[in-house]
Amino acid sequence: MRSRILLHTLTAMCVAVPMAADAATAIKSTSGLIAGDGSRRLGHGFTSQRLGAGDYLLTFSAGAFPTTGPAFTCSPAGIEHNAEICDVWLTDWHTQSPTTVEIHLYSNQDGTMEDNSFFFTELTTR
């Protein structure tokens, strides 16, 4: 069987998640759209905030990931400045306390961090 890799103009996404025997019920995901000011535009099950220029924090409640750490991807949503580069910078996963994910957005012109809207997707096993 051949695999295909779908590339977006500026974003390539590859996520590996362990698969259980019943894969149809073994995977869960959360997606969202975060505005450049850090406010949540789409999605639920998490909070979002802007920490500084191009620096965002997503927080998931305790117990959101009870068995395995989540795999995250992100991509810019529109271009508010230069074409942005989105980076899942840090994931702090916990089973009994909140899990946080820090997202950084960089200018592709000079590498400085700058604000922009972004999409994210999280995948994990149930």
Domain locations along the chain: 26-125
If you classify domain 26-125 with CATH, what class do you get?
mainly beta
pLDDT tens digits along 54-89? 999 999 999 888 888 899 999 998 766 666 899 998
Task: Assess whether pLDDT exceeds 80 at residue 30.
Answer: yes
> Which of the given ranges, 13-17, 52-56, 106-110, 121-125, has the highest pLDDT on average?
52-56
DSSP structural state of residue 89: E
Q: What is the pLDDT at residue 6?
A: 31
Can you list the pairs that 3-10 forms with residues at least 24 positions away whose Cβ atoms lie under 8 Å?
8/75, 10/75, 10/76, 10/83, 10/84, 10/85, 10/108
| CB 125 within 8 Å of CB 106 | no
| CB 72 within 8 Å of CB 120 | yes
CA 39 to chain centre: 14
pTM value is 0.77
Task: Assess whether pLDDT exceeds 60 at residue 12.
Answer: no
Q: What is the pLDDT at residue 15?
A: 45
Task: Assess whether pLDDT exceeds 90 at residue 95.
Answer: no
**CA atoms of 93 and 110, how far apart (whole Å):** 31
pLDDT tens digits along 103-118? 999 988 888 999 999 9
Task: Assess whether pLDDT exceeds 70 at residue 100.
Answer: yes
Please report which confidence band the pLDDT of residue 23 belongs to, taking 50, 70 and 90 as the band edges: low
Please name which of 101, 109, 105 lies closest in space to residue 45, comparing C-alpha atoms.
101
